[in-house]
Amino acid sequence: MGQRRVAITGLGLVSPYGGDLEDFFSRLIAGESAIHHLLTDDVPRPLSMPFVSCPAFDPDTALGKPLASMMDRFAQLGMAAAFAAWDNAGLSRGNESGTDSRERWGCAWGTALGGTLAYEKGYRELWQQGRERLSPLTVVLGMNNAANAHISIQLGLGGVSMSHTVACASSAVAIGEAFRRVRSGEASIMLTGGSDVPQAYGVARAWEALRVMAPGNAENAAFACRPFAADRRGLVLGEGGAALVLEDWAHAQARGARIHGEIIGYGTSCDHSHLVKPEVAGQIRALKDTLTDAGLTADEIDYVNAHGTATSEGDPIEIAALRCIFGDRASRLAVSATKSMHGHLLGAAAAIEAIITVLALREQTVPPTAHLQEIDPACAGVDHVTSARRQPLRAALSNSFAFGGSNAVLAFRAAMPETR
């Protein structure tokens, strides 16, 4: 079939800023943090930490109560984001037939945790309340492929339905694999993205035990995540969902779709060295493979949306990999880590950062790394964007590096004015 161009025709999200794309991006450009102080008391012991939630999201309103009741919150967020992206692409939610059957339309979804809230509820009922039976929906609420299953059912997608669980790179891998399906001609449309909800008490305590979480309190929670800063203290978890519609370029043009941008490359690698410590060589391989896949040189990349979690080991390794790839040009390479504002959404992180990268290219504006005042010398050598700025952007990368040594990088190109 040959390789086909892949257009991005739909963007949708459920974010801590709400679901409006333009408002979402403008608040990031303004450096507005959505991180807040989370205090829960409906747990064995009070849980207090910086967190990012989506307080305006009401699943019954967004999806209707019957559908929402069949889903764990991670699937609810995913379904709402998918609906938003589908509508943004100008596609019908129905199952009408046409010249291009929906049997060639598919879904690839990422989640690191799946339905942990459903499972934790079941554990509490068993061990704390002494119940002998659980809801028969527990398994289908908690299974990792629940989000893509519901998305495929509701949108009538008869092609491939894939769930990818690759820790923090989950939705990057989902997007990359969806891209390959469209580029090869196996699918004409793929809905892809990710969603996660790390609010289960056991999950939060487990992350806390890793000692990678930023400390904080109600007064300074908004500034808790400071990637690349000399005084960074760790990451901040959050919930959310984000979706993109990837479409065969000719198919998109034939139906007169608006094209937000183009996805042009995808690369993956494994550090094969340690479960939680990143390795620069593995990240370099993923970056090189992405550039090769995209048919680009390093000189053609103008912006990198960094993985940038604000951990002591992860940030310097990522910058070292970029310095290696970009060489003398690294000092002029615009780099920012938007997790400083929207937090680390685990399996949804790469999807929301892919949307940010596409919007940056579309609007020709680089969002900042918020709260970055004094740069750690170990993270120097690139052009850290600390306040948003307009500049010409031809192509950009979005990095996602995960526990388990999994690395995934996506490459995007700005759409030509006539296709927007």
By the 10 Å C-beta count (0-12 exposed, 13-18 middle, 19+ buried), 91 is classed as buried
Domain end (from 207, 236, 261):
261
pLDDT at residue 95, rounded to an integer: 60
pLDDT at residue 99, rounded to an integer: 47
204 with 324, same domain: the answer is no
303 with 200, same domain: the answer is no
Q: Which residue has the tokens 């934790």?
A: 120
DSSP helix/strand/coil, 337: coil
pLDDT at residue 162, rounded to an integer: 96
**Is residue 91 situated within a structural domain?**
yes
pLDDT at residue 66, rounded to an integer: 96
CATH number, domain of 28, equals 3.40.47.10
257 with 271, same domain: the answer is no
195 with 272, same domain: the answer is no
Q: Is the pTM of this model over 0.85?
A: yes
> How far is residue 203's CA from residue 344's CA, in Å, rounded to a whole number?
14
123 with 213, same domain: the answer is yes
Contact between 262 and 6 (Cβ < 8 Å): yes
pLDDT at residue 202, rounded to an integer: 87
171 with 67, same domain: the answer is yes
By the 10 Å C-beta count (0-12 exposed, 13-18 middle, 19+ buried), 143 is classed as middle
Q: Which two tokens stand for residue 127?
A: 């061990």
> How far is residue 120's CA from residue 107's CA, in Å, rounded to a whole number?
27
Q: Which of 30, 107, 104, 115 is nearest to 72 (CA)?
A: 115
22 with 133, same domain: the answer is yes
pLDDT at residue 38, rounded to an integer: 73
Q: Which two tokens stand for residue 68?
A: 């929402």
pLDDT at residue 136, rounded to an integer: 87
Domain end (from 216, 243, 261):
261
**Is residue 233 situated within a structural domain?**
yes
**Is residue 420 situated within a structural domain?**
no
32-53 pLDDT tens trace? 999 987 766 565 666 678 889 9
293 with 387, same domain: the answer is yes
> Which entry of 168, 225, 371, 384 is annotated as an active-site residue?
168
270 is known as an active-site residue? no
Calculate the CA dihedral of residues 143, 148, 151, 152 and round it to 10 degrees: -110
Average pLDDT of the residues of the chain? 93
> Which entry of 344, 371, 379, 384 is annotated as an active-site residue?
344
**Is residue 195 situated within a structural domain?**
yes
Domain end (from 238, 261, 284):
261
The Cβ-side half-sphere exposure at 275, using a 13 Å CA radius, reads 1
- Structural domain tally of the chain? 2
97 with 239, same domain: the answer is yes
pLDDT under 70: residue ranges of the chain = 1, 39-47, 95-100, 218, 417-420
**Is residue 280 situated within a structural domain?**
yes
**Is residue 203 situated within a structural domain?**
yes
Q: Report the chain's terminal Cα–Cα distance, integer Å.
A: 27
223 with 205, same domain: the answer is yes
234 with 321, same domain: the answer is no
Domain that holds residue 398: 266-415
Q: Using H for helix, E for strand and C for coil, what is the string for 37-48?
A: EEEECCCCCCEE
**Is residue 141 situated within a structural domain?**
yes
DSSP helix/strand/coil, 265: strand
344 is known as an active-site residue? yes
**Is residue 1 situated within a structural domain?**
no
pLDDT at residue 218, rounded to an integer: 64
> Which entry of 150, 164, 307, 342 is annotated as an active-site residue?
307
13 with 42, same domain: the answer is yes
307 is known as an active-site residue? yes
DSSP state of 387: S
